[in-house]
Structure 1
């Protein structure tokens, strides 16, 4: 339990720092003389690198262990936090926000750490508490930082408020390093055989892995397009073309790395005891696309939605919309508990059906609805969305122990991919179609769930001395 609490606090701090700018944007814009277009660019930059960062941090976690990786991430991320706090112009602020996106990858480290410390029958609840309580860091920033800026006072109050989050981040990295170990005493921390790419165990899975990498690169290209097409034109056309070419080259390099790590499967089959099915990972990716991706997107637009549909002040609309995010405290652990009690696949089917129906109901909301009914529907939908997230990450650690960080990284990245895709869709369609499209994508994920196999039996891992370890998963 000590490890669980230290872990969710670490995750809480990463989100607290990652979104420390959001409640202070007005003061930041006034202090730095930012235009509305430049503010939008900062918001995009804040999430841009989180997609590849989660994959990279997942690999680093599997190789070096959660203790070193989490501590280093917190310590290093405090530097761009200070850089943003004391930025003198838009360019400095933009670079700092881009680099701070790396702290958004902290989530995947704790997934591996918690899975090392809890048995299978408690893993869903433990991962749910880690994710749900840690995710509340963004809401805590919105609640506390404006008041803290007022306490510091003056035109630079926002700077000291943001700098204080950097101090907390750096300080906690030292505490985490001294208080955590990667596994319980006597347990083995299993590492991948190779680094640089995810291991797969069949030729078909190799090509599926390459296919599942493509959407992440397409979304990063979409972010580049947004930065070049904006009014501020942070990127010129030539710079954009150069980045597009770089993304293509990076993908080709990943293809090479995947082949380098997995080339043995083209010569001889992997022993059945060591096989796992990558389709399990692909299905969880799609589910997290629909769950966490829609949560990030809806949290971003819900205050404005309530304000426009029901003609409310932004303060009132913001308070009502916050009910969607507050559900995380109970919904995500609840989803893990349901998964522990009723089975991983069955729980995912129930919760995915619920979120699809929930978004369908939200698409039907009009100004003629009683406000209390609209908020109730939003909160009900929120429960299924966040409980679904908990159920996804109750399943992730049961696929292949030594690859848990990489699997969590890829699945987590797909959540960010979903958010970018949904918000892009919102820029072209009405609110009603926005909710309908999310419901439809959830329905597609539900169909894919038919091919998910319930984790059962054991995972086979090999100790350093060559002995075989069987890890029960259900």
Structure 2
């Protein structure tokens, strides 16, 4: 059995070098994806945008990420992380540079929509890191990958305004954003040169069929199709936000057209799912050692819905919450709220470490329960609280949120190796679904009720986690010659 310790400074080990290559690639995707927000005031002035146009850009920036994570997960399983990550960095970098050079609102809206695809970069490294690290280390390794890479959003927020000032002039924001795109573009080639899909001598297992997860029985097939529905509902909510009933950036005909497109895409996806699971439909039995339970995937989906989904939603509203509750300046409120994101550096690896050493289900249960309590506490914050106590409560809640994310992705690589990309893609997409749903709820209720809604969802997820089965022993995959390979998962 492998040791659960991990020395991230031991660069003599190939797997540690690969870990650093991977988290920095993910870091750059988040820098590029989130380079828009800190430059928003300059962009608004440059294009003379109104409030509705700004809100529309913010929605477009995340709209494509939900389907992109599912698609990228499929591509990773089929072509390998090395090619897919390199291609995503190179293409995303080019789109970013094009955005910096755009000269009309229509152009920046289109490019911001396309930029959402780079938000799927996270999924790629989950499969890659899972290939390189054994079961007893994979949680901590995935936590380092996710936590350090996710910090790219905070670095973008802190560094880009300064970089724009250094460049100077009315186009400083353009040069700052273009710089991040050029970095991603260059790193894409470097990543392709240095990264490898698996350690030397290991096999990269691919799914038997492409187009969807291959499940083990008809009950799981129905469950899988049902779990696809919320992703389309979230996209429908985003369409509604752009429709005449909300921001009014789309006319009725365009809104109806998008609803029809989503319905058609759902039908197409279901047909693909049925196609890749034709053996299940035809009652062809799956060999016992190759079976897995889809409920494991579904539970990870809803756990990420409430962990990462709530993080994205809370990070979006927390500065304004502090500013209004304690009558702070925008700068002071932003600094205090940034603590929520800063916890990623330690909390995600911490969640992975707990999962590796104290049990997958037990760790996730404790962290989700702590998350629920944390949001209940945040719902009680008002102007009578000392500011320092509100910040401490926020940081404590943030630890459970982000450690929970680490615990989720400590389990993802252990479900079914050949489909880790697709499982990670679906789970990651559910995080974005959660953000859309929670932010939509926030538009209808008070801040206190918003926190309580998240706490209630966490309580439901806690109950669901109790049905998760602890990964034990080995899973089986087929080599190209038909022989069986056993992969340790505990």
Match of 1:385 in 2: 401
Map 1:28-427 onto structure 2 (within 5 A).
28-229=43-244, 233-266=248-281, 267-427=283-443
CA offset digits 1:224-259 (Å, max 9, x no partner): 111113776332111111111111111111111111
Match of 2:3 in 1: none
Query: Matches of 2:49 and 2:59 in 1, distance apart?
Result: 15
SS in 2 for 1:229: coil
Whether the 8 Å CA contact 1:83–1:92 is kept in 2: the answer is: no
TM-score by length of 1: 0.99
CA offset digits 1:369-391 (Å, max 9, x no partner): 11111110000000000000000
SS in 1 for 2:347: helix
Gaps of 5+ in 1: none
What is the CA distance between 1:418 and its match in structure 2? 0.1
CA offset digits 1:165-221 (Å, max 9, x no partner): 110010000000000110000000000101111111110000001000000001101
Match of 1:438 in 2: 454
Whether the 8 Å CA contact 2:240–2:246 is kept in 1: the answer is: no
Whether the 8 Å CA contact 2:361–2:469 is kept in 1: the answer is: yes
What is the CA distance between 1:273 and its match in structure 2? 1.0
Query: Matches of 1:183 and 1:272 in 2, distance apart?
Result: 26
Query: Matches of 1:395 and 1:83 in 2, distance apart?
Result: 38
Query: Matches of 1:89 and 1:229 in 2, distance apart?
Result: 22
Query: Matches of 2:274 and 2:210 in 1, distance apart?
Result: 12
Gaps of 5+ in 2: 1-15
**1:62–1:317 distance in 2 versus 1, CA, 3 Å:** same
Query: Matches of 1:22 and 1:239 in 2, distance apart?
Result: 27
CA offset digits 1:59-85 (Å, max 9, x no partner): 000000000000001111112211210
CA offset digits 1:102-122 (Å, max 9, x no partner): 000000000000000001111
CA offset digits 1:310-353 (Å, max 9, x no partner): 11111101000001110000000000001111010000011011
Query: Matches of 2:241 and 2:174 in 1, distance apart?
Result: 28
Query: Matches of 2:287 and 2:345 in 1, distance apart?
Result: 42
What is the CA distance between 1:268 and its match in structure 2? 2.2
Q: Which runs of 4+ in 1 moved over 3 A?
A: 229-232
SS in 1 for 2:475: strand
Aligned length: 474
Whether the 8 Å CA contact 1:37–1:230 is kept in 2: the answer is: no
